[in-house]
Amino acid sequence: MKKEYPRLSYHIECTDEVKQSVVNTMGTFQDIVAEKCVEYFERYRRRTFVTPKSYLSFIGGYKAIYKEKFANVGSLSERMKTGLAKLMEAEVSVNQLSQELVMKEKDLVVASKKADEVLLEVTMKAQAAEKVKMQVQKVKDKAQAIVDDIAIDKAAAEEKLEAARPALEEAEAALQDSITGETVELLEPYLDMEDYNLETAKKVCGNVAGLCSWTQAMAYFYGINKEVLPLKANLALQEGRLAAAQMELNNAQIQLDEKQMELDQVQAMYDSAMKEKQALLDDAEACRRKMNNATALIEGLGGEKLRWTASSKNFQSQIINLVGNVLLATGFLSYSGPFNQEYRNLLLQLWKKEMDNNKIPYSNDLNLTGMLVDNATVGEWNLQGLPNDDLSIQNGIIVTKASRYPLLIDPQGQGKIWIKNKEKNNGLQVNG
């Protein structure tokens, strides 16, 4: 009659058929171990046996180890996938950056041409403006010299006029008529006489005295006015020249300001063009730097990409084979402890044969020791006193990984020494 085994109500990465085969094979594993217990006793007189609790422990161990290994392989697989995805993103990024760089370099050529054209225009206008500035500066300097000279002449004329002003005002105050030069010439013989004055005239005749005083005033006014009139005319002339020179100077300054404004505008155009060109240069350089960095990363990780791709495929294979690998590892931890190396190997052979018959996938090159413990831990065990042979290392795995406490048959005391050293910092209590 075919035995019915409980269903494994736990997610494992396999088909429903393989999952059911695992459930059935677990029971077969226990049956095989039960048969070998009898044979082992008959051969070595060492009694060992299995119980329903052994089977339940087998199932619980399978769940725990599968969960741990699946998470570990899944994490490594995800890291490889992430690394490959980043490399692919970098390759896509390099292509995009390469296309962007081509466009930016085209824009840079246009901007450079534009800047060169503006520079040529600036140079030409600057030369023209400089030429005009030099011409205008000459006009300005000449006009300024004229202004300065006229200012000196005007100041001199004003000084002379100011000096003559009291006499002029006095003569004007004494006059009710004008006089000519001819009249003054006719009066000169009389005016030169010593006694032709107001005091003498009063002594001779009072009426004549008024006429004498009037003729003297008329002659005096004529003399003063004759000297002042040229001064006034010269002052008016100098003021006219000054106004003309100042106007010429102002016009020259206006032309100079216009040329400078025109030059400033062209210079602003050039500065703007150069700023645009520099911005494109910086942008293109940043793009080129990103592309070079990404290219260096891709080239540097070229070999890693092949390894990661192979590892990613290997992880998928590991996940597929994990269902069988964990079955063998859990069977080893649950049942092989009481047996010697020969029977442990025999059990593994029989289990693999049963798994082959039930089409349960597993790794042909499976190393249970490497699967259950890493080299660093084994090295630490050796330093703590555990022998380095395969059987001792397997016993160490069973002691640390099995779900139930093991009983050590340790005639040489090696296991006891190892456990004491291993657990001395964990508050181990030893009786006897």
Residue 357 confidence class, pLDDT cut points 50, 70, 90: very high
The CA-based angle 15-19-25, given to 5 degrees, is 140
H runs (alpha helix) in 301-389: 302-335, 341-357, 368-372, 375-383
Lookup: tokens for 67:
């969960």
**What distance in Å separates the CA atoms of residue 185 and residue 189, rounded to the nearest whole number?**
8
Residue 175 confidence class, pLDDT cut points 50, 70, 90: low
Tell me the angle at which helices 206-300 and 181-191 cross, rounded to the nearest 10 degrees: 130
Q: Which range scores top for mean pLDDT: 18-32, 226-240, 272-286? A: 18-32
Residue with tokens 């992880």: 315
Closest CA to 29 of 390, 272, 348: 348
Closest CA to 338 of 38, 46, 79, 35: 46
Reported for 161-170, long-range contacts at CB under 8 A and 24+ positions apart, including other chains, are 161/228, 161/231, 161/232, 161/235, 164/224, 164/227, 164/228, 164/231, 167/220, 167/224, 168/224, 168/225, 168/228
**pLDDT at residue 134 is higher than 50:** yes
CB-based contact 398:360 (threshold 8 Å): no
DSSP code of 164?
H
Report the chain's terminal Cα–Cα distance, integer Å.
51
Q: Which range scores top for mean pLDDT: 22-31, 179-188, 271-280? A: 22-31
Q: How many CB atoms lie within 10 A of CB 177?
A: 7
More confident residue, 81 or 40: 40
Residue with tokens 């505008």: 265
- Rounded mean pLDDT, 315-336: 89
**What distance in Å separates the CA atoms of residue 246 and residue 251, rounded to the nearest whole number?**
9
How many residues can be counted in the chain?
A: 432
**pLDDT at residue 109 is higher than 50:** yes
Q: Is the pTM of this model over 0.85?
A: no
**What distance in Å separates the CA atoms of residue 62 and residue 327, rounded to the nearest whole number?**
6
Q: Which of 39-53, 134-148, 390-404 has the lowest mean pLDDT?
A: 134-148
**What distance in Å separates the CA atoms of residue 171 and residue 173, rounded to the nearest whole number?**
5
Residue 363: left if φ>0, alpha if ψ -120 to 50, beta else—which one? beta
**What distance in Å separates the CA atoms of residue 397 and residue 370, rounded to the nearest whole number?**
10
DSSP H or E run through 374: none
DSSP code of 410?
-
CB-based contact 354:93 (threshold 8 Å): no
Residue 30 confidence class, pLDDT cut points 50, 70, 90: very high
CB-based contact 30:52 (threshold 8 Å): no
CA–centroid distance for 309 within its chain = 33
